[in-house]
Amino acid sequence: MNNLKFFFDKEQDANKLVWLSQLVIKNSSSIMKQCQTEKPFTFTIAQFLGLTLCYISDTIVSQTGDSKGSHWRVLEIFLNAQGWHQAVGVQTADAILGSIFFFLSRKGNSIILTCDCKCYIICDPKPCDAGYFTRLRQIVDVKVPPLVEPTTKAPTPLAGCLLDFVIQPLEFATATLNVNHRLN
Domain ranges in the chain are 4-181
Q: pTM of the entire structure?
A: 0.78
Mean pLDDT of 38-57: 88
Which one has a higher pLDDT value, 129 or 54? Answer: 54
Q: Which amino acid is at 129?
A: D
Residue scoring higher pLDDT (180 or 70):
70
Give the whole-angstrom CA distance, residue 143 versus residue 77.
Answer: 21
Question: What does the pLDDT average to over 161-182?
Answer: 78
Beta strands in 17-79 (DSSP E): none
Between 142 and 1, the higher pLDDT residue: 142
Question: For residue range 131-145, what is the model confidence (pLDDT) as tens digits?
Answer: 788 888 888 888 887
Average pLDDT value for residue range 158-178: 82
Query: Are 101 and 175 contacting, i.e. CB atoms less than 8 angstroms apart?
Result: no
pLDDT tens-digit series, residues 72-93: 999 999 999 889 999 998 888 8
pLDDT digits (tens, 9 = 90+) for 89-111: 888 888 899 889 888 887 653 33
